[in-house]
Amino acid sequence: MLGVILGIAGIVASRRARKADYRKDLPATVGFVCSIAGIVVSAVTPLFALIIAVAQSAIG
Per-residue pLDDT of the chain (60 residues), as tens digits, is 888 899 999 999 888 888 877 666 777 888 889 999 999 999 899 999 999 999 999 997
Going by the DSSP 8-state scheme, the letter that residue 22 receives in this structure is T
From CA 12, how far away is CA 38, in angstroms rounded? 14
pTM: 0.71
Amino acid in position 46:
P
Going by the DSSP 8-state scheme, the letter that residue 24 receives in this structure is -
